[in-house]
Amino acid sequence: MTGAMTEGTLFARLRAAAGPTWRSYCDHAFVRGLGDGGLPEAAFRHYLVQDYLFLIQFARAYALAAYKADDLDDMRAAAAAMSAIVDTEVALHVGYCRDWGLDAAAITAVPEDLPTTAYTRYVLDCGLGGDLLDLLVALAPCVVGYAEIGLTLAATPNALADTNRYRSWIEMYAGAEYQDVARQAVAQLDRVGARRGGEARFAALSRTFAQATRLEVAFWQMGLDAA
């Protein structure tokens, strides 16, 4: 999701406030390796396994979002997101892992790496200790950031070449379906922010957003360190 698509939104302001932290996330060496195909396969496999474990915890976060919602629209949005993860994305992810030589038994037998635990529990803690807006802000770097990264990589020369083994990953996050998910997340952030005093809380929300972004950086680095 490009800056033009989010201009004037709460997300855009949070991203701008994150400054270099956001750039270090979207332009991490792991991300560049996806774009040019140079990422070591061992790094990507470790990432894939941890991303599976990550998805399970994010499903819990959306269950919490449904509990924290104070109207049916936000409750439906949270329930739909949780259902999409539990009923569709987990199975798709397992299938994708299989293409990389990782079967379901191998994935589920691996414990969470520390960056996975740190990131997902931080998101849940934001939701448990705060309200729906706090939780959505903590989720935003992942949900919307992957859309931005996908579009950026798709525009990189040769990233979508048949020779790039990570082409399908890029296409998934640059694709229309995921871009629509990100747009809905940005719009919901604006709606909830307007209802829950987002402007008065901007400094605190910025700290949450920046910390979640730093944890995203650590998640990429975890993959590189495993290579």
- The answer to whether the beta carbons of residues 181 and 143 sit under 8 Å apart is yes
The residue among 226, 198, 179, 217 whose CA lies nearest residue 20 is: 217
The answer to whether 142 is a known catalytic residue is yes
Considering 26, 97, 148, 216, which one is annotated as catalytic? 216
Q: Give the separation between CA 115 and CA 99, rounded to whole angstroms.
A: 25
CA angle in degrees (0–180, nearest 5) for 34-116-64: 115
Considering 97, 142, 171, 199, which one is annotated as catalytic? 142
The answer to whether 171 is a known catalytic residue is no
The residue among 101, 121, 106 whose CA lies nearest residue 211 is: 121
Q: Give the separation between CA 102 and CA 45, rounded to whole angstroms.
A: 8
Distance spanning both ends of the chain, measured CA to CA:
29
Active site residues: 142, 216
